Amino acid sequence: MSYTFENNLEYALSLDDMDILHSYRERFHFPQHEGEDVLYFCGNSLGLQPRSASWLFQKELADWAKYGVEGHFQAENPWMYYHSQFSESLARIVGADVSEVVAMNTLTVNLHLLMISFYRPTATRYKIIMEAGAFPSDQYAIETQVVMHGFNPNEAIIELTPRAGEHCLRDEDILQAIADAGDSLACVMMGAVNYYTGQWFNMPEITKAAHAVGALCGFDLAHAMGNVPMHLHDWDVDFACWCSYKYLNSGPGGVAGIFVHQKHGDNPETFRLAGWWGNEETTRFKMKKGFVPAKGAASWQMSNAPVFNMIAHKSSLDIFDKTSIDTLREKSLLLTAYTEYLLKEVKNLDFEIITPEEPQRRGAQLSLLFKDKGRVVFDYLTENGVVADWREPNVIRIAPVPMYNSFEDVYRFVSLFNTFPG
């Protein structure tokens, strides 16, 4: 995919004029810098607050005051079923059946719950493949899951590293590692989009390769959810989990979610830790012994919905429901490409973009690796009203989020590189 861009403000503004999503930025609060909206490029860490969130919070507070415990049934959005209103939205975003997704818990809690179900090692099939340098939560979770089953992490975990001199994994190397592990491989568990480089892995091919050797395949969607289009059901992914506070704009520590393919979720023989809220709904309040799993992903729930943790989630998903992940992706491709073009025009700073150039291998992120002065540049950007993300040893991550970032935003952002005094 190629574009013909121009490096001037008038051109950036013309792209905004043609952007059907441009008005969506008005649905979000932007932090302020010297009385102006900041240039916010940190949506891959924490999304902006939807303006409707405070109104929705007040609404639930009013229902709590009015109804007390009866709010579980009489509130406008009854708390008893509050979590269920998200399933259709989440299913559209990940490409799933409604029964295959549920909003619950937080990311790493969900990862552990899913690994208990889908990492079921034997004496000969016990290895896990993951990318080296995965987000620490994933590393810690996988390591402790392996130890819990009595294996040595150094022997059981296969970490995939890029080739010498490269920053991203090659598809063929991932697939070859899966084939080489063969019948010793129990599970592939990778981040769908790598948090550091922004590389989007080839999820359908990885899943297919895992199944070919008899292993299961799951993904951490923390940096993919609301960012890139997925078809988890059709790709035959076994399980996945995500957080909602990045591209889904659902607030710090916002409720997370899971996907479980219906071939597992509808099978009562699939092992899952039992919680009261995961029990079949019609018998849940009979308070009897003997866990009877609900249909689908809902049976992995532990407890009733944390309503006040879910309100911001509703405010954001209401906005997602007004568009589509495909429409967001169309803008994202153009917006990220324009940002890349402008950055390559910068001549006074020594950095390289370590995110893949190929659009199909990245989402709404560019990671800039500086040879030197990286922290000084980051501080200069911050002082001038830019909110980005710093990662050791020398990387600035930026996320041009299609939901609320504009072409003018990225033009003004890159213009600061050209005025850097160092």
* Residues 6 or more apart whose Cβ sits within 8 Å of residue 85: 77, 314
Nearest 5°: the CA angle 368, 188, 210 is 115
- Interval 13-24: pLDDT, tens: 999 999 999 999
Task: Provide φ and ψ at 77, rounded to 5°.
Answer: -110, 90
What Å distances lie between residue 237 and 195, 205, 231, 296, 325, CA to CA? 20, 10, 9, 14, 19
Collapsed DSSP state (helix, strand, coil) of residue 7 = coil
Classify burial at 255, counting beta carbons within 10 Å of its beta carbon; exposed 0-12, middle 13-18, buried 19 or more: buried
Q: Alpha carbon 175 to chain centroid distance?
A: 23
Question: What is the reported pLDDT for 422?
Answer: 76
Task: Provide φ and ψ at 190, rounded to 5°.
Answer: -125, 160
Rounded-to-integer distance, Cα 53 and Cα 250, Å: 9
Nearest 5°: the CA angle 342, 196, 132 is 145
Low-confidence ranges of the chain (pLDDT < 50): none
- Interval 353-385: pLDDT, tens: 999 999 999 999 999 999 999 999 999 999 999
What Å distances lie between residue 128 and 84, 124, 214, CA to CA? 33, 12, 12
Question: What is the reported pLDDT for 124?
Answer: 98
Question: What sign for the dihedral angle of Cα 150, 153, 157, 158?
Answer: negative
β-strand 49-50 against 28-29: which pairing, if any? Answer: antiparallel
Q: Helix 9-18 and helix 407-418: axis angle, to 10°?
A: 160
Counting Cα atoms < 13 Å in the Cβ hemisphere of 411 gives 15
Residues 148 and 156 sit within 8 Å (Cβ to Cβ)? no
Structural domains in the chain, CATH included, are 9-50+324-418 (3.90.1150.10), 59-320 (3.40.640.10)
Structure tokens at 275: 């919680």
Question: What is the reported pLDDT for 1?
Answer: 63
Rounded-to-integer distance, Cα 86 and Cα 250, Å: 12
Question: What is the reported pLDDT for 282?
Answer: 85
Rounded-to-integer distance, Cα 171 and Cα 269, Å: 34
Question: What is the reported pLDDT for 28?
Answer: 98
Classify burial at 329, counting beta carbons within 10 Å of its beta carbon; exposed 0-12, middle 13-18, buried 19 or more: middle
Look up tokens 């990940």; give the residue. Answer: 94
CB atoms within 10 A of CB 124: 9
Residues 132 and 159 sit within 8 Å (Cβ to Cβ)? yes
Structure tokens at 189: 């568990």
